[in-house]
Chain A
Amino acid sequence: MKNKTWHSLLDNIYKPGRYLGKEINSLRKDFKKAKIKFALAFPDLYEIGMSHLGLQILYYLLNKEDDVLAERVYMPDLDFIKRLKETDTLLFSLESREPLHKFDLVGFSLQYELSYTNVLAMLELSKIPVYAKDRINNEPLIIAGGPCVSNPEPMADFFDLFCIGEGEELIIELAKAYRENRALEKKALLWKLAQIEGIYVPSLYKTVKNKKEVYVIPKDKDTPPKIKKCLVKDLNNVPYPTSQLIPLIETVHNRAVLEIERGCTGGCRFCHSGMIGRPRRRKSIETIVRLAQKIIEETGYREISLLSLNVVDFQGAINLLEILVNIFKERKIAISFPSLRVSKQVLELAKISSIIKKSGITIAPEAGTDRLRKIINKRITTEEIINLVHGIFEMGYNLIKLYFMIGLPLENDEDIMGIVKLVRALRKGKSKRKVIKVSISSFIPKPHTPFQWESQDKIYEIKRKQRLLIENMREKGIELSWHSAEQSTLEAALARGDRRIATVIKKAYEAGCIFDSWSDRFNFKIWEDSFKEEGLDLSNYASRKINIRSRLPWDHLDMKVNKKFLIKEYLRAKQEKETSDCYKGQCLSCEAC
């Protein structure tokens, strides 16, 4: 891109740093010489995408291959979209500033359903036809991965293929297969790629609809009826990016990230990440310590976040933390964690990490009463939560963040008021001066979880419960935040959607919907109308209760956890029975291992 064009693109644009690339540790290969050109696309703003670990892992792994070039592209903001259109400039990658149609593959990371319209925006800004069936003139293969592809059906018409499961080994195998078969015409190429375990090519399947069910079957007998998710067996043996990208502008997280474990056997019945992430695998302490030192050496970050769905139950967590604190304390490099499961271990972890810095502590009680926690299989009591939080405050922490969920199955108003009572109990006595941040999300039934058959509360009911909490938690020292009921409803509809929703997504996009995850840009009415115009009911997708004997639109995807196990857990929830963590005791035959 010529200098003059470049500067005229960026002048008077808000946060032009988003579009520069040139981050410290970014990789720039010769675009013309690369045999396979891969664009990694994140369908949200740069500040959000740069904080996402998965994209960095793939970026690093693909660029390690001699003949592969991987570059990044993020969703531009509204002012830059306008500028691109006014100047007739195509959306471009950050590294070489080449338009996306010059790449061989464009891989989208689908982290949340409310980013779907942004995918269409990015394709349109690249002048790439949004529907897969319309891409017949050597356009790049449009592919996707990420947690949302555990049910990719609402987006199936837009993508050539999906990578189901973990990407590290799968993406390299895909690149290799593409290299060997790229000369084939598209249909034959996709057929070849579909032979790789973990690759789902939606054009080889069709939707079947009867009165009660909507599900997916292969178009012909040679196509496998189920696609198994791809899994990295040994996290110690897969390369991990230590030269992490250092953004030039401020992003959501400004710290090093080190994944220590994948998958969770805690068994919370609403939890999508926990279920689709199984089986549980961890890095060894030696690997973690070695990587932590290398990451700090290569980035200069002042904080390292240890990623795991359940740090507290990581075997050797205390020992690991003691080793890391010992290494980093002189240099004042802080160690932080994502939200923690309630356990006495949290106090020990907080005590050790506070030697360097008291980073924020977040715990997730999720429900307000012991009864509801049993239903969702969160094996903690109100008394344990209170003791833990008081213990944290006594250590000198002045702020704690709590996550709760409303609209859970079998919930009643007593459970809602249970949240109020619990939070008030946490602020008694010496803790009166402390600040508690309470974040309330709405339950969203997600595929491949024991609650996938359950209904979501209707919007008016979510709002009623939110009002109950707001009215009863207007106190100094309590900071309450909550998610939009309308956004949660749309998320539920898309999460449990089928292939018919593709036209709804396209309609909503054409009517102006993008950045749906941003509350100030979200327009629920357009979505409702788009569903109606296609003869579908948004509310029904979110709130319908599904018969456990019905086939589901995502049944053709094998995420390792057996459906019988999910049904068993669902029925146990109705009986208010807990299930133990199989990591500590008996195998529960979920068949993930």
Chain B
Amino acid sequence: MINNNTSVKTKDTLYRARFKYAKLQDMKYLSQLDITRIIKQILFLVKAPVVIKEGFNPQLKISFGRALPLGIKSICEYFDLFLYQESDLDKMIKDMNKKFPSGLKILKGQYISLKEESIFSSMNTGIFKVAVVLNKDFELVEAKIKNLMINQAKINFTTKNKEKEILLATILRSIDIKNRGKNQAIISLVLKDIIDPKKILAFLNEDIKISNIRCLEFLNT
């Protein structure tokens, strides 16, 4: 790996690598902006052969997936990195993981085509698992969840300081619940667009208490 980061014009970018990383433990308390800042700094720290765009305020040529709300763990976060030379990705990952705070870890990386669709566009559906403590009987909660999809329910959704009402079915692909015993259950959701699962589950506020939310994967649908 060459030690210096060289400023290369965008058209001369040679390689594109896609990395998958996990955001666990205390890292769930960091925003997407914070995570992207840390990753960028670590890339410079390990002297990865990154491409820096020209301009008044030169920036790294890197793109990230959709931003998860604060408080959600994930084992399926992605970023695409543009490199000016081919590098041993396994070594780069190992070097970066040594520097990351605990809870942040790159799981794998691979080279992809320069023409591959952007992460943001391609990873538009998220699979979430929400661990809950039940305040009511499991059967009652299960029935409510089954009715949710049938009843054409709507939810109020605030985006960019504007509140709008949308059909749940447009964003909720599927939802089900599994009993884990001892008043605990796991609710699985498949959501189109990245919305905080808590908002979807707000209708169960009196019936459950959320103890953990984890994003398991992003899909292109």
Contacts and interface: CB of A to CB of B under 8 A. Distances in A.
Nearest to B6: A330
A16 B70 contact: yes
B90 interface: no
A248 B99 contact: no
The secondary-structure label for the interface of chain A is loop
Interface in A254-303: 254, 298-302
Contact of B7 (A10, A23, A24, A330): A330
Nearest to B54: A332
Interface string B13-27: 000000000000010
Contacts of B52: 332
A300 B29 contact: no
Nearest to A358: B56
Contacts of A302: 44
A22 B57 contact: no
A298 B57 CA distance: 22
A331 interface: yes
A24 B29 contact: no
B101 interface: yes
A136 interface: no
Contact of B4 (A11, A249, A331): A331
A304 interface: no
B65 interface: no
Given A20-B26, A331-B5, A357 B57 contact: yes
A110 B102 CA distance: 32
Interface in A89-121: none
Which of B29, B31, B56 has the most chain A CB atoms inside 10 A of its CB? B29
B102 A332 contact: no
Interface in B1-47: 4-7, 26, 29-31, 33-34, 37-38, 41-46
Contacts of A241: none
A300 B101 contact: no
A414 interface: no
Interface in B110-124: none
A472 to B, nearest CB: 32
Interface in B74-106: 99-103
Contacts of B43: 300
A16 B7 contact: no
B58 interface: yes
Given A250-B37, A300-B43, A358-B56, A20 B99 contact: no
Given A22-B101, A331-B5, A358-B56, A248 B34 contact: yes
Contacts of A330: 4-7
Contact of B29 (A10, A254, A298, A357): A10
Contact of A246 (B6, B30, B41, B103): B41
A248 B44 CA distance: 16
A17 interface: yes
A185 B52 CA distance: 61
Contact of B45 (A250, A300, A332): A300
B7 A17 contact: no
Which of A250, A299, A301, A332 has the most chain B CB atoms inside 10 A of its CB? A332
A24 B101 contact: yes
Contacts of A299: 41, 45
Contacts of A16: 29, 70
B45 A22 contact: no
24 contacts: A11-B71, A16-B70, A17-B30, A20-B26, A20-B29, A20-B30, A23-B101, A24-B41, A24-B42, A24-B101, A248-B30, A249-B31, A299-B41, A299-B45, A300-B43, A330-B4, A330-B5, A330-B6, A330-B7, A331-B5, A332-B52, A332-B58, A357-B56, A357-B57
Interface of A: 10-11, 16-17, 20, 22-24, 246, 248-250, 254, 298-302, 330-332, 357-358
Given A248-B30, A249-B34, A332-B52, 4 more contacts: A17-B34, A20-B29, A24-B99, A357-B58
